[in-house]
Amino acid sequence: MAERSGMVEKRGPGLWFTHLGLIIGVLIIFFPIWLAFVASTVTQPEITQPPMPLWPGDRFFENYRDALVSGVNAPVARMLANSLIMALGIAIGKIIISLLSAFAIVYFRFPGRRLFFWLIFLTLMLPVEVRIVPTYEVVAGFGMLNSYSGLIFPLIASATATFLFRQFFLTVPDELAEAARVDGARPMRFFIDILLPMSRTNIAALFVILFIYGWNQYLWPLLITTDPSMNTIVMGIKQMFPSGDDVADWPVIMATSILAMVPPIVVVISMQNLFIRGLVDSEK
């Protein structure tokens, strides 16, 4: 009897099998990253004469220095900087324009309010992958190829964040806005002194999600950065593979892959709770 009622949470041998199953799962998930890390610490011949070792070698500093300083087409340090600018630009830009427009939609009555809401809402539906050719033409027309603004603006043209802030502002009690009005606070004062501090957690959670979204973009940077010095790291890795039959410089490529993973992983792990919150919110 005691054993049965305890069967929901496992104890004894069952507990160990549960842990074992989970550990195997974790190992399977980890394996590709472990292998990439090992490859980034060994010499090229150790990889090209298979099987490669499964334990790190002693070339960590040399390989990462090679990647960061010279890379293959462009120094990886440069690509990291490009990715950072793009990810921050997308996250901050999208948060700012969304906060402003959500504020306008929720707290003001003006002609065309519903129309604007629906126009913005429509953009929820269409990922950039679907409209690449015409968007490319627009960006090229503005002379924004190989530029940060070309990397950033087309990706902040969507309404997910606006929608989230709108949902949040709707839950803020009306009394707060009324009290502010009675006190003679102008709308922007209310926005800056009351609404923004209240949205702190939402802003941070959204920042985590958008940073990763921006950092991990692939197709868009691939199209508009033809100049290697403007490549982002995520799209730059593929460009490091030689065309034809030449042998790829695996240690440098794998070091670059690890470098491409570290910033978003650090963001996810260090802000885990915010990240989960952001994820759940943005899918609601």
Partner 1 sequence: MLPILLLLPQIVITAVFFFYPAGQAVWQSLFIPDPFGLKSQFVGLGNFEYLLGDPYYRASFVTTAIFSGLVTLVSMGMALYLALLADRLIKGAGTYRTLLIWPYAVAPAVAGVLWLFMFNTRVGVVSWYLGLLGYDWNHVLNEGEAMGLVVAASSWGRVSYNFLFFLAGLQAIPRSVIEAAAIDGAHFWTRFRTIVFPLLSPTTFFLLVVNVVYAFFETFGVIHTITSGGPQQATTILVYKVYKDGFVGQDLGGSAAQSVILLFVVGLLTIVQFKFIERRVHY
Shortest CB 247 distance to partner 1, Å? 8
Beta carbon of residue 151, minimum distance to partner 1 (angstroms, whole number): 12
Interface mask toward partner 1 for 139-178; x: CB under 8 A: x-------------xx-xxxx--x----------------
* Dihedral, 37, 42, 43, 49 alpha carbons, nearest 10: -90
Dihedral of CA atoms 239, 74, 135, 166 in degrees, nearest 10, equals: 110
- Least distance from C-beta 62 to partner 1, angstroms? 19
Choose the binding region for partner 1 from 56-64, 134-142, 172-180, 199-207 (rule: CB under 8 A): 134-142
Residue keyed to tokens 């069967």: 7
Looking at the chain, the number of H-run helices and the number of E-run strands are: 17, 0
Interface with partner 1, residue 118, by CB under 8 A: no
61 binds partner 1, rule: CB under 8 A:
no
- Among positions 16, 70, 137, 143, the unique one binding partner 1 when judged by CB under 8 A: 137
Asked if 147 contacts 230 with a C-beta cutoff of 8 angstroms, the reply is yes
Give the helix/strand (H/E) hosting 140: helix 132-141
Among positions 63, 202, 231, 257, the unique one binding partner 1 when judged by CB under 8 A: 257
> For residue 94, what are the contacts with CB-CB under 8 A and spacing of at least 6?
156, 158, 161, 210
For partner 1 (CB under 8 A), the number of binding residues is 96
Q: Does 260 bind partner 1 (CB under 8 A)?
A: yes
Residue from 167, 198, 216, 281 in contact with partner 1 (CB under 8 A): 216
Using CA atoms, how far residue 106 sits from 94, 99, 116, 171, 179, in Å, is: 18, 11, 12, 10, 17
Q: How far apart (Å, rounded) are the C-alpha atoms in residues 249 and 71?
A: 10
Among the candidate windows 33-41, 67-75, 84-92, 164-172, which touches partner 1 by CB under 8 A? 33-41
Given 71, 89, 251, 264, the residue binding partner 1 (CB under 8 A): 264
Backbone dihedral region for residue 269 (phi beyond 0: left; psi -120 to 50: alpha; all else: beta) = alpha
Which tokens sit at 110?
A: 């003006």
Taking the complex as a whole, the smallest distance from the CB of residue 50 to partner 1 amounts, in Å, to 4
Task: Decide whether 9 or 174 has the Cβ nearer to partner 1.
Answer: 9
Q: In this structure, what token pair is assigned to residue 54?
A: 């499964």
120 binds partner 1 (CB under 8 A): yes
Examine residue 52 and tell whether it contacts partner 1 (CB under 8 A): yes
Tokens of 1: 């009897």
Among 58-66, 73-81, 174-182, 251-259, the segment contacting partner 1 (CB under 8 A) = 251-259
Does 110 help bind partner 1 (rule: CB under 8 A)? yes
